[in-house]
Structure 1
Amino acid sequence: MQKHINKLTRWGICVLLIVMAALQANGNLPTTLIEKVDYFIYDLRMRWEPTTFNPDIVIVNIDEKSLQEVGQWPWNRGVVADLIERLTDDYHARAVGLDIVFSEPDNSTGIQVLEGLAQKELKENAGFVAQMPALRKELDFDDKLARTLAGRPVVLGYVFSNTPNDNSKGLLPTPAFVDADLGERSFESAIYTKYTANLPELQKAAITGGFFNPSPDADGVIRGIPLLAKHGAGYYEALSLATARIALNASKVKPVFLQADGINSQSFLNNYGSIEAIKLNSTPNKRIPVEPLLTALIHYKSKGGPNGGGFAYVSASDVLKKRLAVDKLKEKIILIGTTAAGLKDLRTAPLGLDYPGVEMHANVIASILDGDVKQRSDSTRGFEVIQVCLIGLLLSFALSRFKALAAVMCTTAMLVLVIAFNYWMYQSFNLVQPLATVLLLIAALFVFNITWGYLVESRKLRGVVRRFGEYVAPELVAVMAEEPDSYTMEGEIRELTVMFSDVRGFTTISESLSAADLREYINIYLTAMSEEIRGNRGTLDKYIGDCVMAFWGAPVRLEEHARLAVASALKMQSIAQGLSADFVKRGWPALKIGVGLNTGEVRVGDMGSKIRLAYTVMGDAVNLSSRLEGITKVYGVGVVVGEATKTAAAEFAYRELDRVRVKGKTRPISIFEPIAIAASIDDAQSALLELWHQALDDFRAQQWDVAEKSFLSYLQVRAEDLASQVFLERIAHYRQNPLPADWDGVATFVSKFSE
């Protein structure tokens, strides 16, 4: 019963862990720990990604060299206009993205001062006033930049915000689409209320613009960037998306909605609802998968900076001074950024704390061009729930059956398979599947099952040791410890071999020794006998005064229980002889023991009362074993075994002592004295055994004279053989007292020890 309760409890806890993991995977039980682990795994994956050089994207760097040659930043808009003109007209760039906002007028030329002079101090100076239109045109760098932007593939950058006290400045570009274009469809996106954009004349002149708001995760690391954001009723492009669109000669951005079975399902969209991709009407069309809030994961293909290996960097001053070969920038996508000290636009990325912001845009553009935008699909949650349940149940089933080493190997294999499958999905299908939940579930199931094995199974082991350690040998306890649930003290019927061993003349011994000597005498004897029994895989039952009771075949099943018991009985006789010699040297009485063995079905298990129980055996076979131990005194032998024991341990040579009917039994049995292993018997011993058995046959045939002669011959070899004397006495008695016609040669014992 307890075994089933333990199994149910174990499975119940495993199922609880799986359910909690499934709830977490489905978003019903969010935890920051899982989120942090997933972040860590994503970042680790990015760090392991090999650097991939993209020849189509070049970063024009406002570096230290440029600042020394051109001047400190910010440069006037005239220099920026010259830079754009060089990139588009001289170097034939496909598209230019500016990671810069021109939200304030350029006052660096002093045009305002000249305007003031023309209106005040020098307004009477006709020549000066006449030159003002030309000066205004020459020094109005905002106008110059606007004229330069017109008709060129340049994308201006700007910033959205939700700061309550800020005022919006500048002019936003035309949105990619507005709410009215979506009909009744709706979806979630980043929403902003304020912006810092470019001067209206600049934005009107530019082909388009794009925001460069970062989208950091909860830990401050930027792993994704919104490709579209909402302001008012319009949806606006990110700098990276707008630059890629211009480079691909696409005029429109079209949202691609989730579909069910290839047909738009309004309820499906509203409930699950989101845009699953953005499509550009380029040739061919570009489909860019997006995540919730219209975010795209940044696939970091560069380690960052001029030496990051992913993108070519050129100095802005080299572009301005036309030091570069035309093919260096021809048909390239240009992003203008900075690495100069004090101007660094650095962000926290999975690859480090100082990743250039301009390269984040470059990585997104590269992914759009290559068509390898990583994504977490809308089926991610469902897939993760299924994965958690399947792996959790499979691992729970396996770990509940495996030993510690196999459990470690199974868990390791499962971890490798899960990680390999996740990486394969990432590399082959650009799918970023969550990994933390299933990894933590595998770890939790492993730790729980190992802990369960240690606490519960070790408790079972301690129970086995506690229950059986006093009875059986340590090696048997070790066997039982491997499957502790298989061994209980509940009663059962089993074939065993039972032993009783007793000291001859113990009453006389006890009367001749002091209490201290008697205690030592009996302790030495019991210890030696017990060690032999346990050493030969026997189970000690109890001590009854000087009597030792033991059995073989329980609690651990032993196919050779009879052989082991007979071997122990013979060894105990040898040990007793050695102890006797030592005792005599001490001045103590000699030691002789008698051993009775019998094999048969008995009931074994916990027996006794509510006050005290003991692991013991009961049954007719046990009683007969006790009777056989008593009979050893009658025949003067050390060991007597029953017929079943002789049959089961046939490798020994035996002397049949007699056929007897013990007290309480009506059916006669044959009793035997084991001599030694049959293979070790020499010719003389074999002849002596043959003589004995012939004498026994003659006795049963009532051939008194022949039998008497044989028994006397036997005594000439073994002068102290009491069994021969017993039969000689019977022959003398039967000669004087004729036997009945139905005499069967069986000796009937009317008491435990006497006929």
Structure 2
Amino acid sequence: MRRYLMRWFLGSSIIVFFMLHVMSPPSSLFSWQFIHNLERDLYDLRLNVAAASVVDDRVIIVDIDEKSLAEIGRWPWNRQILSQLVDRLFIDYEIDLLGLDIAFPEADNSSGWSQLEVLANTLLKDQDGFLAQLPEIKKQLDYDQQFADSLHHRRVVLGFSFATLESRMENVQAGLLPEPLLTAEEVRLLPLKYESANGYIANLPLLQANALGAGHFNVSPDVDGVVRRVPMLQAYQGDLYESLSLAMARVILGEPTIELGLEKGSGGYHRLEFLQLGARKIPVDAYLRTLIPFRGPQGSFPYLSASDVLKQRVSDPQLLKDKIVLLGTTAQGLLDLRTTPVATVYPGVEIHANLLAGILDHQLMDQPAYIVGMEWIILVLSGVLLLFLLSLLSPLWATVNTVLLVTGIVWFNVMVWEQLNLVLPLAATLLMILSLFLFSMSYGYFIESSHKRAMAHLFGQYVPPELVDEMSRDPSSFNMRGENRDMTVLFSDVRGFTTISEGLEPQELSELMNEFLTPMTRIIHEQRGTIDKYMGDAIMAFWGAPLRDEKHARHALDAAMGMVQTLEAMQPQFKARGWPEIKVGVGLNSGPMNVGNMGSQFRIAYTVMGDAVNLGSRLEGLTKQYGVQIIASETTVAAVPEYAFRELDRVRVKGKDLPVVIYEPLGARDHLTESVISELVLYETALTHYREQHWELARQLLLQLREQSPERLLYSIYLERIDYFSHNPPGEDWDGVYTFTTK
């Protein structure tokens, strides 16, 4: 009896542990972060499972993508182009409503109109002829007015952004805010709880005055950095401003006002539960945020390149007719990519498209206050039932009943999600069931030292001992299961290895490779890299796993530069021993990769796979074509802004349809000499002329560059291409991409 009482006491302690968590506010002593972390993961899992697979063509995203930037020019575009884009959408394609996921806080001075105004008031103020022409000149050069005119009397909702504490833009005030949805006087009388912004980046008064309305495009990342919610109402200086999706929904539904749905307790109204928009309820949490109803990964809504719209290349104009359009960007350099439950890189503009569709479809998830009570009841009932069963049943039947209980709770949770749009917490209940089961089976504890030994056994052959020690401090965070991560891969290969090997005896060749591979490996380890494998004379390494590395691209690039420099320093030593000179080619690429234990039942290895890995291998092979020792992809270059690079080419490698821009690293920007900078500027000018098909201008500059640096193969490559294209023009639609048909 005493033994059973102790078992019930310890089992009940586990139940009480989770009950305290459920009943405690998130910031209290009895609220445990690891349960909240799991809850977020389970929410993401349910969201992905329930996501619709059908593309919603009611909302079209006009995308300022890499293609648009390449064709139209770098951002920001002048407002004349934007006014043309708006006119195209409303006149040529007859859209219904346009929302802009972009703010325009500053005047556009790219036309030179502001300088002309200064001259008109100073040096040319007495020139009657000039002053008489000034109004007409203004029509041509006042791009802000042209843009404002394109918005006037059209259904256009502008976007703007609030500066929160996390954004590090304290007290920024740019542009003009629209009229608030609720003023500070109205809000003061309501029992609302919210986080106030400390600044804003809005639109020019001229633009705001000509638009139908405006909404903020702020998002609200959770503590793990994942965007799951958007503040439907954002406070600033006591006033409440609506989100972009809410502002667009009000226009579409013809609902000028919003009513507040307040929960009434014994002491009066004390919490806002939802926003009433006509017949639609928009559920919000205590901080006025709404869960984003993601339809799926990127592409749940049709995308059209902004350049295609501007140049009237949309294949089916009916796709846009009477549709809702969101203008936003997916270009990496424009910083509107978010981490979401459905994708680690997700366009911010599609977040607003999901919210707008959810409002129109009555498909917004809710977490009302009574959810806590439901979770508490389920927790207590399932805990007591399981504790009773586990104390009576054999291990086999205890396992069967535990699985059945988990299945029933998950089924009920999913039904509530799908039928009632309610997000019922799940993590605490599942963890409690698991804890009770492990406790009952006497299998709940693991010895820390065994984890460390296992960590060294698993990863010791791949990473240096220092990293194994670092990983051992938190062994539960590391395993060899496959997962997708953003990483950088390096491929290195010895040039002319076959010739080298034929000229040496087997023993000498072995010594040579040992002398070569040892310092190369040391450099990779010093830069926190993981050796994947040696392939004869080749090395494959990666950064970002098993230990996460936010600077994986920089560390990989430093390793590549260090390998080349060290090899050059070793050449006198090789020469003294009668060995041939060794040159290497190194390819670097960053991107999402699958990492983990992979192989067969006969042999398995911790390695990386995926398109990003294959591209890294292809880039290593291209070093021979361009006469350079290191080639880095555009994704690696974007992640290391402190380095200077020479753009080599836009290429389409074998096995990939999409082109990639490749670069040669030159070193830290602040260490470049004047001669290198001058040569780089001249080369970039030649490259621009080449891609604009100004063959003779490009030829003259490249000849000058080749005369300055005759050892650089790159200039001769482009001169040969120019000779060919001069006699065989590539056509107006030529994209400047060179396609390689071999590895």
TM range (shorter): 0.5 to 0.7
Residue pair 1:22, 1:388 contacting (<8 A) in 2 also = yes
Q: Aligned to 1:115, which of 114, 117, 123?
A: 117
Match for 2:244: what amino acid? Answer: L
Match for 2:341: what amino acid? Answer: P
In structure 1, list runs of 5 or more residues that go unmatched.
Answer: 260-264, 455-755
Q: Which residue number corresponds to residue 288 of structure 1? A: 282
Match for 1:42: what amino acid? Answer: Y
Q: CA deviation at 1:123?
A: 3.6
Separation (CA, whole Å) in 2 of partners of 1:139 and 1:363: 38
Q: Does 1:224 align with 2:229?
A: yes
Q: Which has the larger radius of gyration?
A: 1
Q: Deviations over 1:603-641 (max 9, x none)?
A: xxxxxxxxxxxxxxxxxxxxxxxxxxxxxxxxxxxxxxx
**What SS does structure 1 have at the residue aligned with 2:261?**
strand
Q: Which residue number corresponds to residue 14 of structure 1? A: 11
Residue pair 1:302, 1:311 contacting (<8 A) in 2 also = no
Q: CA deviation at 1:401?
A: 0.5
Q: Deviations over 1:12-60 (max 9, x none)?
A: 1122111111111112521110011011111222332342311211000
Match for 1:425: what amino acid? Answer: V
In structure 2, the CA distance between the partners of 1:397 and 1:100, relative to structure 1 (3 Å rule), is same
Q: CA deviation at 1:148?
A: 2.2
Q: CA deviation at 1:114?
A: 1.6
**What SS does structure 2 have at the residue aligned with 1:177?**
coil
Separation (CA, whole Å) in 2 of partners of 1:84 and 1:255: 34
Q: CA deviation at 1:194?
A: 1.1
Separation (CA, whole Å) in 1 of partners of 2:14 and 2:442: 15
Separation (CA, whole Å) in 2 of partners of 1:441 and 1:180: 47
Q: Within 5 A, what are the aligned runs for 1:193-342?
A: 193-259=198-264, 265=265, 267-270=267-270, 274-281=271-278, 285-304=279-298, 308=299, 310-324=300-314, 325-342=316-333
Residue pair 2:196, 2:238 contacting (<8 A) in 1 also = no
Q: CA deviation at 1:342?
A: 2.3
Q: CA deviation at 1:336?
A: 0.5
Match for 1:267: what amino acid? Answer: G
Q: CA deviation at 1:246?
A: 1.4
Separation (CA, whole Å) in 1 of partners of 2:178 and 2:192: 22
Match for 1:252: what amino acid? Answer: T
Q: Which residue number corresponds to residue 433 of structure 1? A: 424
Residue pair 1:22, 1:385 contacting (<8 A) in 2 also = yes
Match for 2:177: what amino acid? Answer: L
Residue pair 1:425, 1:432 contacting (<8 A) in 2 also = yes
Q: Does 1:73 align with 2:75?
A: yes
Q: Deviations over 1:314-336 (max 9, x none)?
A: 12223223343442112211100
Separation (CA, whole Å) in 1 of partners of 2:125 and 2:209: 34
Separation (CA, whole Å) in 1 of partners of 2:229 and 2:384: 34
Q: Which residue number corresponds to residue 717 of structure 2? A: none
Q: CA deviation at 1:80?
A: 1.2
Q: CA deviation at 1:290?
A: 1.5
In structure 2, list runs of 5 or more residues that go unmatched.
Answer: 446-743
Q: Which residue number corresponds to residue 2 of structure 2? A: 5
Q: Which residue number corresponds to residue 392 of structure 2? A: 401
Q: Which residue number corresponds to residue 183 of structure 2? A: 178
Q: CA deviation at 1:207?
A: 1.3
Q: Which residue number corresponds to residue 103 of structure 1? A: 105
**What SS does structure 1 have at the residue aligned with 2:399?**
helix
In structure 2, the CA distance between the partners of 1:452 and 1:208, relative to structure 1 (3 Å rule), is closer
Residue pair 1:62, 1:315 contacting (<8 A) in 2 also = yes
Q: CA deviation at 1:164?
A: 6.8
In structure 2, the CA distance between the partners of 1:218 and 1:416, relative to structure 1 (3 Å rule), is same
Match for 1:83: what amino acid? Answer: L
In structure 2, the CA distance between the partners of 1:398 and 1:143, relative to structure 1 (3 Å rule), is same
**What SS does structure 2 have at the residue aligned with 1:246?**
helix
Q: CA deviation at 1:344?
A: 5.2
Q: Which residue number corresponds to residue 163 of structure 2? A: 161
Q: Within 5 A, what are the aligned runs for 1:243-642?
A: 243-259=248-264, 265=265, 267-270=267-270, 274-281=271-278, 285-304=279-298, 308=299, 310-324=300-314, 325-343=316-334, 345-451=336-442
Separation (CA, whole Å) in 2 of partners of 1:148 and 1:340: 25
Separation (CA, whole Å) in 1 of partners of 2:290 and 2:273: 11
Q: CA deviation at 1:424?
A: 0.9
Q: Deviations over 1:524-544 (max 9, x none)?
A: xxxxxxxxxxxxxxxxxxxxx
Match for 2:195: what amino acid? Answer: A
Separation (CA, whole Å) in 2 of partners of 1:348 and 1:453: 34
In structure 2, the CA distance between the partners of 1:452 and 1:61, relative to structure 1 (3 Å rule), is closer
Q: Deviations over 1:67-95 (max 9, x none)?
A: 34433321111221222222233333222
Q: CA deviation at 1:452?
A: 8.5
Match for 1:356: what amino acid? Answer: P
Q: Aligned to 2:85, which of 83, 86, 104?
A: 83
Match for 1:355: what amino acid? Answer: Y
Residue pair 1:51, 1:303 contacting (<8 A) in 2 also = no
Separation (CA, whole Å) in 2 of partners of 1:344 and 1:184: 38
Residue pair 1:344, 1:356 contacting (<8 A) in 2 also = no
Separation (CA, whole Å) in 2 of partners of 1:17 and 1:234: 46
Residue pair 2:61, 2:301 contacting (<8 A) in 1 also = yes
Q: Which residue number corresponds to residue 615 of structure 1? A: none
Match for 1:146: what amino acid? Answer: A
Match for 2:172: what amino acid? Answer: N
Separation (CA, whole Å) in 2 of partners of 1:35 and 1:450: 26
Separation (CA, whole Å) in 2 of partners of 1:449 and 1:22: 19
Separation (CA, whole Å) in 2 of partners of 1:378 and 1:70: 50
Stretch of structure 1 that moved more, 204-213 or 64-73: 64-73
Residue pair 1:53, 1:302 contacting (<8 A) in 2 also = no
Stretch of structure 1 that moved more, 382-391 or 286-295: 286-295
**What SS does structure 2 have at the residue aligned with 1:365?**
helix
Separation (CA, whole Å) in 1 of partners of 2:92 and 2:310: 10
In structure 2, the CA distance between the partners of 1:421 and 1:74, relative to structure 1 (3 Å rule), is same
Q: Which residue number corresponds to residue 488 of structure 2? A: none
**What SS does structure 1 have at the residue aligned with 2:173?**
coil
Match for 1:195: what amino acid? Answer: Y
Q: CA deviation at 1:453?
A: 12
Stretch of structure 1 that moved more, 383-392 or 242-251: 242-251
Separation (CA, whole Å) in 2 of partners of 1:342 and 1:193: 26
Q: Which residue number corresponds to residue 31 of structure 1? A: 32
Match for 1:151: what amino acid? Answer: H
Q: CA deviation at 1:266?
A: 6.6
Q: Within 5 A, what are the aligned runs for 1:142-153?
A: 142-153=144-155
Separation (CA, whole Å) in 2 of partners of 1:113 and 1:216: 43
Separation (CA, whole Å) in 2 of partners of 1:143 and 1:315: 25
Separation (CA, whole Å) in 2 of partners of 1:172 and 1:253: 19
The aligned length equals: 436
Separation (CA, whole Å) in 1 of partners of 2:119 and 2:236: 42
**What SS does structure 2 have at the residue aligned with 1:287?**
strand
Separation (CA, whole Å) in 2 of partners of 1:345 and 1:184: 36
Stretch of structure 1 that moved more, 337-346 or 58-67: 337-346
Q: Deviations over 1:197-236 (max 9, x none)?
A: 1111211221111111120001000011111111123211
Q: Within 5 A, what are the aligned runs for 1:632-711?
A: none
Residue pair 1:69, 1:317 contacting (<8 A) in 2 also = yes
Q: CA deviation at 1:354?
A: 1.0
**What SS does structure 2 have at the residue aligned with 1:129?**
helix
In structure 2, the CA distance between the partners of 1:170 and 1:344, relative to structure 1 (3 Å rule), is closer
